């Protein structure tokens, strides 16, 4: 069931201020709600203003703290405004989860035109670059530890998990993650990535789940023979966002049912 975390909530993110991009649906929405239940003050950002508001309202209706911000992550001014609003409302930034992304419908090299390439790269790669850069600026300004988590993909680890532009962009996310982690480890800033496999009932994967042929191909590649659940990704994000993972940086963790084993 969505929005349910096993076990008791023990405030693992007590008073932490967390920005989540793509919080209007899927993994981002699930994560925002779970994080709020764990004590975080959550900034729900999304390109779709209505869905961002919906997520924030769910959190507020549970008596927790959240605001929503409309953001195009491929636009620096939007990213800058998102962080400025975060600090204006909550006084600081502790964690950013760069989750928002788009797919390319398995388009091959010859099927990919410049418009599609630019759109995917600008969102999935430049958007991560912008999110990391603006967060690091804020962490250094605050003179505080910071935590960045980038949502990559099993497509970051090899081919056949997407089309040319998607796979290229997600490989780049791993490069950014490792580089930024190395550059700012001495400043107390941690940077990690997660690599989800086929996660069911998100805006990106729902069309593939409804296509029986594609659904069969994907599940046949997964040793656990099923799609992942959004909460299974959110629980990993919770661990990485919490102090339980304080000695982990520059790594990429798969959550894929063994797909890339």
Active-site residues, by number, are 166
Give the torsion sign (CA, 231, 236, 241, 242).
positive
Q: Are 187 and 135 in contact (CB under 8 A)?
A: no
| Inter-CA distances, 41 with 11, 65, 128, 261, Å | 11, 5, 22, 36
Residues in the chain: 261
């Amino acid at each position: 069931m969505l929005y349910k975390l096993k076990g008791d909530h023990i405030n693992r993110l007590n008073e932490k201020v967390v920005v989540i991009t793509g919080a209007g649906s899927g993994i981002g929405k699930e994560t925002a709600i779970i994080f709020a239940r764990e004590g975080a003050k959550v900034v729900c950002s999304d390109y779709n203003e209505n869905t961002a508001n919906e997520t924030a309202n769910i959190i507020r209706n549970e008596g927790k703290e959240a605001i929503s911000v409309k953001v195009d992550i491929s636009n620096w001014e939007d990213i800058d405004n998102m962080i400025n609003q975060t600090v204006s409302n909550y006084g600081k930034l502790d964690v950013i989860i760069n989750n928002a992304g788009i797919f390319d419908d398995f388009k091959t090299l010859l099927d990919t035109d410049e418009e599609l390439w630019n759109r995917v790269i600008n969102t999935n790669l430049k958007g991560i670059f912008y999110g990391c850069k603006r967060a690091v600026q804020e962490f250094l300004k605050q003179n505080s530890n910071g935590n960045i988590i980038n949502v990559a993909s099993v497509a970051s680890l090899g081919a056949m998990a997407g089309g040319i532009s998607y796979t290229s962009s997600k490989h780049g996310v791993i490069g950014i993650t490792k580089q930024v982690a190395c550059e700012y480890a001495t400043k107390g800033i941690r940077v990690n990535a997660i690599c989800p496999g086929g996660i069911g009932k998100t805006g990106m994967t729902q069309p593939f789940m409804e296509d029986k042929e594609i659904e069969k191909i994907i599940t046949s590649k997964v040793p656990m023979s099923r799609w992942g659940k959004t909460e299974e990704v959110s629980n990993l994000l919770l661990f990485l966002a919490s102090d339980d993972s304080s000695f982990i940086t520059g790594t990429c963790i798969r959550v894929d049912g063994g797909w890339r084993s």
